[in-house]
């Protein structure tokens, strides 16, 4: 895969950078700027080399046309602050304003184009429609750098098609992500524990499937655990339960036994009568969940057992909060697991949008972990062993030239 080093002299070149700036917004206020921060090093490097940097990104899920609530304007301000230089903001992606903004860029200057998903061609399933939009994107620049890890699993114009149209390289962020994910799948140092939580089993089936053959221990908490507990014959009250996945959970439990992978499930859970921050919470054993209560966090005994497995591992991958961490009463399990990850003597990786948000919300800093992945879906798909189109296309364009 070509890196920025392989693009040659960058001074004066117009470099289109696909970043992942999909931050949570409250009105026009960014509530977690982690992704903006993560995108800075690649942009800064291009600036330092005198490139004319054109940043391309999406925000939210607009429907292929301009929608002010998803404007990237607030991100342009934050990016300006972080870079310590004015980032020019174009009010469209490939229109008159984008073209003028790019034409006016000096060496070492940065522009951010408006939300790429304001254009129907970006996410179109029709190759020709996507290609036509990618032509317009490519016309703005001389080179392309793919640095939005959160989108490399998407076959979209600004991720995939544009890489076919310009000399392309992978940015430092994507490169770092891929290196870490490789370590998790190819040669993890043992013991290797995979910790899964979050809301749905059905979201994580592929990962469980693939990692069952790689990990030594699979630790399961969060909302998805109730489907596993149901598979073991426990009553789960009104907890989150995917009835149609109970069979699958059963199958994983028996496959794990065959493979010699130990599966660690909670022994106690924090329950409450309602999904509410101030609902009265109590801790019960897993076989004592009352019919009219729901499990909203793993209990303290389980959290400690999970932490022990984590601390005793050399490689840990964690995806999915252990409970409804958004509510203080149900955040303890997630906090204990996060704390244990910070104490791992080896590689600890946090993957998943909500998991990354959880560790930051709970007051942990990024540098306490080996790696916090910026891309939830992308890291999961990589760990499932799938081919990510945004990476595959960079491999192809690289090998064409060396062939
Ligand atoms: P990620 O984005 O890190 O992959 P998910 O999206 O799978 O994580 O899951 C995150 C969500 O799971 C959080 O919003 C959290 O509140 C929810 N969750 C965790 N445990 C439970 C539970 N016991 N019941 C309901 N929801 C839960
Ligand atoms: Mg999520």
Q: What is the pLDDT of residue 8?
A: 95
Q: What is the pLDDT of residue 269?
A: 98
Atom of ligand 1 nearest to the CA of 204: 7
Q: What is the pLDDT of residue 273?
A: 98
Q: What is the pLDDT of residue 117?
A: 98
C-beta 172 within 6 A of ligand 1:
no
Of the residues 35, 78, 88, 130, only one is catalytic, namely 35
Distance 259 CA to ligand 1 centre (A): 28
Helical spans, DSSP H, in 84-216: 96-104, 120-123, 127-138, 162-165, 172-185, 201-211
CB atoms within 10 A of CB 134: 25
d(CA 24, CA 28): 10
- In the chain (403 residues long), the average pLDDT of successive 10-residue segments reads 95 98 93 92 98 98 97 98 98 98 98 98 98 98 96 97 98 94 92 93 86 93 97 97 96 94 97 97 98 98 98 96 97 98 97 89 95 83 91 73 37
How far from chain centre, in Å, is Cα 314?
Answer: 22
d(CA 372, CA 352): 8
Topology (CATH) of 4-173+388-400: Rossmann fold (3.40.50)
- pLDDT tens digit sequence for 359-390: 999 999 999 999 998 777 888 889 888 999 99
Topology (CATH) of 190-345: Rossmann fold (3.40.50)
Q: What is the pLDDT of residue 384?
A: 87
Q: What is the pLDDT of residue 398?
A: 46
What residue segments make up the domains of the chain, in order of their start?
4-173+388-400, 190-345
Of the residues 50, 95, 108, 377, only one is catalytic, namely 377
């Amino acid at each position: 895969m070509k890196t920025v080093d392989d693009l040659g002299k960058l001074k004066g070149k117009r470099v289109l950078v696909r970043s992942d700036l999909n931050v949570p917004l409250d009105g026009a206020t960014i509530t977690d700027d982690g992704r903006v921060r993560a995108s800075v090093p690649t942009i800064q490097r291009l600036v330092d080399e005198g490139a004319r940097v054109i940043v391309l990104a999406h925000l939210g899920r607009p429907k292929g046309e301009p929608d002010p609530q998803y404007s990237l304007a607030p991100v342009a301000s934050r990016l300006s602050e972080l870079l310590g230089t004015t980032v020019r903001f174009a009010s469209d992606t490939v229109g008159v304003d984008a073209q003028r903004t790019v034409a006016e860029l000096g060496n070492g200057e940065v522009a951010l184009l408006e939300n790429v998903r304001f254009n129907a061609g970006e996410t179109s399933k029709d190759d020709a429609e996507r290609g036509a939009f990618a032509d317009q994107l490519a016309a703005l620049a001389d080179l392309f750098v793919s640095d939005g890890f959160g989108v490399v699993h998407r076959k979209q114009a600004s991720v995939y098609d544009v890489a076919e149209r310009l000399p392309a390289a992978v940015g430092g962020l994507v490169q770092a992500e891929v290196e870490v994910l490789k370590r998790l799948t190819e040669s993890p140092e043992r013991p290797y524990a995979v910790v899964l939580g979050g809301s749905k089993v059905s979201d994580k089936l592929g990962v469980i499937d693939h990692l069952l053959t790689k990990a030594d221990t699979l630790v399961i908490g969060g909302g998805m655990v109730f489907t596993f507990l149901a598979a073991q014959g426990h009553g789960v009250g009104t907890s989150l339960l995917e009835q149609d996945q109970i069979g699958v959970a059963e199958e994983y439990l028996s496959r794990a036994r065959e493979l010699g992978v130990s599966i660690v499930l909670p022994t106690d859970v924090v329950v409450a009568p309602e999904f509410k921050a101030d609902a009265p919470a109590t801790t019960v054993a897993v076989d004592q969940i009352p019919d009219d209560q729901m499990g909203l966090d793993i209990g303290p005994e389980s959290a400690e057992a999970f932490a022990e497995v984590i601390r005793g591992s050399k490689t840990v991958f964690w995806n999915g909060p252990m409970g409804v961490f958004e509510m203080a009463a149900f955040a303890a399990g997630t906090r204990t697991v996060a704390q244990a990850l910070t104490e791992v003597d080896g590689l600890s990786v946090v993957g998943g949008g909500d998991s990354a948000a959880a560790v930051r919300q709970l007051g942990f800093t990024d540098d306490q972990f080996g790696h916090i992945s910026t891309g939830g879906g992308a890291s999961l798909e990589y760990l499932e062993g799938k081919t990510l189109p945004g990476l595959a296309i960079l491999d192809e364009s690289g090998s064409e030239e060396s062939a």
